[in-house]
A and B are shown apart, each in its own frame.
Chain A
């Protein structure tokens, strides 16, 4: 498999995706950079509206245009910039080399179409399968994702499946062509907790079997903890912190990340003591000039409201967007 010289399957640099709205320009993704290495899992974490979904839709050029527009940046996939490809070349990548699983399996499958057809059309398109081949492949994929009695279930409609089963169908569809990169955009958010674990386990297992890289988008830190190699934390369209998973959990270098970590409910803790970050995520059409997190930050200083924070390198792979990144990092170290 061909990758760029440094072993990165995907290199996103300074990606900016803006939306024209009546309220003005919404900078949903504003200068985001990250890499995904061959075979690794990257977690993207953030609250609703932090730009994590838009960032991932941008990777596949699936942003509805207008009102959206990728205004700058580069997305190098196996060394080729996706943003410079023709629509035809992008379509050849979609579904074949980069595949996506979406948040809501209830609405992400076409309700008017049997799942057989929905599964078969991917491999007929990309792998040139005949009807018969595509059918056999679809049955095999359903078996791989653990749908019992796959052959009989193939002719069902999506509404005849439960939520968890539909997400399995989505995964089967996404992995049909053995993509090199699987983007899972909140794959478990709409599911029951017990089903969540099964789906995550399934993604983990299939990733191991196929060697695909995975981008796992979620707002649930509990989900990324056991699944990912690296994590980036997004807020207001920007990367706030970027670190190897264990380091991010042990020594966060950003007040926002610390807030997120404290917000994870601890089943052992006493009742009624849930922590929450005060306030709401900012309006992306009216961002203040300083740090976008300043109004909600525990340790906000004068400079935070005035100046946009620097992206501070803490260790070789650990970065944090904060005026006080070093201090926060040091505090976390003491606490650990």
Chain B
């Protein structure tokens, strides 16, 4: 087990290297600079700026310096938010993204598994059709449509919930972003659970459980659920990583000072250290979550050993 974890962690190193190298290359290929967004500046001043930030050095020197930052996990100073270190920006915005994300994740997990199980247990009933139609809607409606629609309904028409802004985790402001964010995940998890449960419910060992005289609820909860949610597990790893690290659109719609919002700003500003920092951070989270999924598999399925 420990050897497996160490091996997996070692593999993540080259993967992150590839990701940041590609990102770095893309930033340099994109036209414009972090200082050129404002106005035409005199040649001399531009040269000064370039010298100050080391942009006059050969590309491999700049690449090496960037790599040095990543290796030390100290991503340097933001070019746009002057005086603020990238690490500090990530650390201050992460709690916002993570609290919305984890809430959405838990909601999606519980609702998705319940809805999917009900659909599987009542296959081809009105419950099944209704929940799967709803799931299809959840997958089809993009969150930049769903978010404003929820705002329109609950904030601007019913006046029940605030439309935007961040007031901390324990405030009503979190409800709409969480709903918007989790909708598609609820839908996916419900569909995966349904498919998984349908397969398990037809299996021989469920027949054995019924032949024992167990109640249907015991058959489902004790015997079927574990095998039925296996497909969900592999989906939840990347899902959790994305939810944790913020989603650009939802944070934009609800004006949340989260990681995703900074990410978009950084890209628009060509704020290289901030982009690299956030990309590296998201990549690491993603790889870590996938590792977590594999470890969870081992716990859920005794046949899997590392």
Contacts and interface: CB of A to CB of B under 8 A. Distances in A.
A20 to B, nearest CB: 12
B211 A100 contact: yes
B301 interface: yes
A155 B208 CA distance: 19
Nearest to A91: B213
Interface string B199-216: 000111101111111110
A104 interface: yes
A110 B204 CA distance: 8
Contacts of B207: 57, 62, 102, 108
A94 B204 contact: no
A109 interface: yes
A138 B208 CA distance: 17
Interface stretch (A118-126, A260-268, A309-317): A118-126
Contacts of A62: 207, 210-211
Interface residues of B, number: 22
Given A112-B300, A157-B302, A126 B204 contact: no
Nearest to B303: A159
A212 interface: no
Given A112-B226, A113-B223, A126 B301 contact: no
Q: Identify the interface centre among B204, B211, B214, B227: most chain A CB within 10 Å of its CB.
A: B211
B205 A107 contact: yes
A121 B207 CA distance: 15
Contacts of A121: 212, 214, 222
A93 interface: yes
B303 A94 contact: no
Contact of A125 (B202, B212, B223): B212
B213 A108 contact: no
A41 B198 CA distance: 36
Q: Identify the interface centre among A62, A112, A125: most chain B CB within 10 Å of its CB.
A: A112
A95 B226 contact: no
Contact of B209 (A64, A96, A110): A110
Contacts of A148: none
B303 A91 contact: no
A146 interface: no
Contacts, number: 71
A95 B218 CA distance: 15
A109 B206 CA distance: 8
Interface residues of A, number: 31
Interface in A149-208: 157, 159, 170, 173
A157 B215 CA distance: 23
A168 to B, nearest CB: 15
A111 B227 contact: yes
Contacts of B301: 111-112
> Interface of chain B, helix or strand or loop or mixed?
helix
A99 interface: yes
A159 B302 contact: yes
Given A107-B203, A112-B301, A159-B303, A173 B212 contact: yes
Contacts of B202: 64
A123 to B, nearest CB: 10
A112 B298 CA distance: 11
Q: Identify the interface centre among B205, B213, B222, B226: most chain A CB within 10 Å of its CB.
A: B213
A111 B224 CA distance: 11
B215 to A, nearest CB: 7
B205 to A, nearest CB: 4
A139 interface: no
B189 to A, nearest CB: 20
Nearest to A113: B223
A60 B213 CA distance: 10
Contacts of A99: 211
B213 A92 contact: yes
A57 to B, nearest CB: 8
Interface in B170-208: 202-205, 207-208
Contacts of A125: 212-214
A92 B209 CA distance: 13
Contacts of B300: 112
Contact of A109 (B124, B208, B211, B222): B208
A173 to B, nearest CB: 7
A222 B10 CA distance: 58
Interface string B266-306: 00000000000000000000000000000000001111000
A200 B212 CA distance: 22
Given A159-B302, A159-B303, A110 B205 contact: yes
12 contacts: A57-B207, A62-B207, A94-B210, A95-B211, A95-B212, A107-B205, A108-B205, A111-B302, A111-B303, A112-B227, A157-B302, A157-B303
Nearest 9 CB-CB pairings of A with B: A94-B213, A95-B213, A95-B212, A107-B204, A157-B302, A110-B205, A91-B213, A108-B204, A112-B226
Given A62-B210, A102-B211, 16 more contacts: A57-B207, A66-B124, A91-B213, A92-B213, A94-B210, A95-B214, A104-B204, A108-B204, A109-B205, A110-B209, A110-B223, A111-B302, A112-B226, A121-B212, A121-B214, A173-B212
